[in-house]
């Protein structure tokens, strides 16, 4: 692997490539070239080669990529070769929807605990796997006992920074934030914010423009590929938290 810093856009695309390879493997495809991969999934072949080049040489001249081998390499690069345990803070509508999201298991993620400060919700179980709702005051203990390494913030904006502080104090280093507010984190903690409102407003801008002025299917380092990241389904309204 090259020593230069890998951008988040690159790692996002690796996830897209892995999903494409999973589909190919399911269809019994053994080998594929970067050109065929790009054409089949509406990607950019040069970008594929550049992204993979950061991590080594995976293709064979005249053959392309061996699908199973590349799947295994990308799985290891993305850290999906080991189980990831998720804690969701906020047992409202969004937190409940996330707990019921079936897509986590496909990427080796398991929701291990849910947290809230509502006494009526604490002690309940949520989701297909009957995940228990814990008092958020006990987050440090539960994180340690359940081996949680990824946290999801699904609380209103006013409570999000306090929740992040609790998560960081509990030792969690990776956080997915659904609260529509910028958060201050330590340098050793990665926070990725999913702002649904901003995404919808961007789509509204697209709809508002004259058809000739719309930008479609642009591909560059600063824009995701058209096989966009799929996020768990969101439910309108926020959790009853703090």
* SS3 per residue for 113-135: EEEECCCCCCCCEECCCCEEEEE
Contacts of 167 (CB under 8 A, 6+ apart): 87, 89, 139, 151, 153, 175
The pLDDT, as a whole number, for residue 137 is 97
Positive or negative torsion for Cα 93, 94, 98, 102: positive
Question: Which residue in 96, 137, 93 sits closest to 239, CA to CA?
Answer: 93
The CA distance from 90 to 163, in Å, is: 10
Sheet architecture: strand order including 125-126 = 125-126, 131-135, 109-116, 84-89, 150-153, 174-177, 190-193
Whichever domain contains 28, its CATH number is: 1.10.10.10
Quick one: residue 42, left, alpha or beta (phi over 0 = left, psi -120 to 50 = alpha)?
Answer: left
**DSSP-derived secondary structure letter, 61:** T
Q: Report how many domains make up the chain.
A: 2
The pLDDT, as a whole number, for residue 128 is 83
Q: Spell out the per-residue pLDDT of the chain, length 242, in tens.
A: 554 578 999 999 999 999 999 999 999 999 999 999 999 999 999 999 999 999 999 989 889 999 999 999 999 999 999 999 999 999 999 999 999 998 887 788 999 999 999 999 999 999 888 999 999 999 999 999 999 999 999 999 999 999 999 999 999 999 999 999 999 999 999 999 998 888 899 999 999 988 755 555 544 444 444 333 444 443 333 445 64
Stated as kind and residue range, the H or E segment containing 11 is: helix 8-26
Calculate the CA 103 to chain-centre distance. 10
The answer as to whether 59 is a domain residue is yes
Contacts of 7 (CB under 8 A, 6+ apart): 221
Same domain, 118 and 133: yes
- What domain range is 105 assigned to? 84-196
The answer as to whether 101 is a domain residue is yes
For 33-67, the pLDDT digits (tens) are 999 999 999 999 999 999 999 999 998 988 999 99
The answer as to whether 224 is a domain residue is no
The answer as to whether 143 is a domain residue is yes
The answer as to whether 222 is a domain residue is no
Q: What is the pTM of this model?
A: 0.80
The answer as to whether 216 is a domain residue is no
The answer as to whether 218 is a domain residue is no
């Amino acid at each position: 692997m090259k020593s230069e810093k890998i951008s988040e856009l690159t790692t996002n695309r690796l996830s897209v490539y892995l999903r494409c390879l999973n589909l190919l493997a399911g269809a019994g495809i053994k080998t594929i070239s970067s050109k065929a991969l790009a054409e089949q999934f509406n990607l950019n072949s040069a970008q594929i080669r550049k992204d993979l080049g950061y991590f080594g040489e995976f293709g064979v001249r005249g053959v392309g990529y061996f699908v199973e081998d590349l799947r295994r390499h990308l799985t290891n690069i993305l850290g999906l070769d080991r189980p990831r345990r998720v804690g969701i803070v906020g047992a409202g509508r969004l937190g409940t929807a996330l707990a019921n999201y079936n897509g986590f298991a496909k990427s080796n993620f398991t929701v291990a605990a849910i947290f809230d400060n509502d006494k009526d919700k604490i002690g309940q179980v949520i989701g297909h796997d009957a995940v228990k709702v814990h008092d958020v005051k006990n987050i440090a203990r539960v994180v340690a006992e359940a081996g949680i390494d990824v946290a999801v913030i699904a609380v209103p904006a006013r409570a999000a920074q306090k929740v992040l502080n609790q998560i960081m104090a509990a030792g969690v280093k990776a956080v997915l934030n659904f609260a529509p507010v910028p958060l201050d984190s330590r340098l050793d903690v990665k926070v990725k914010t999913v702002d649904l409102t901003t995404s919808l407003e961007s789509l509204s801008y697209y709809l508002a423009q004259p058809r000739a002025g719309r930008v479609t299917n642009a591909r560059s380092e600063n824009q995701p590929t058209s096989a966009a990241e799929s996020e768990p389904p969101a439910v309108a309204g926020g959790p009853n938290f703090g």
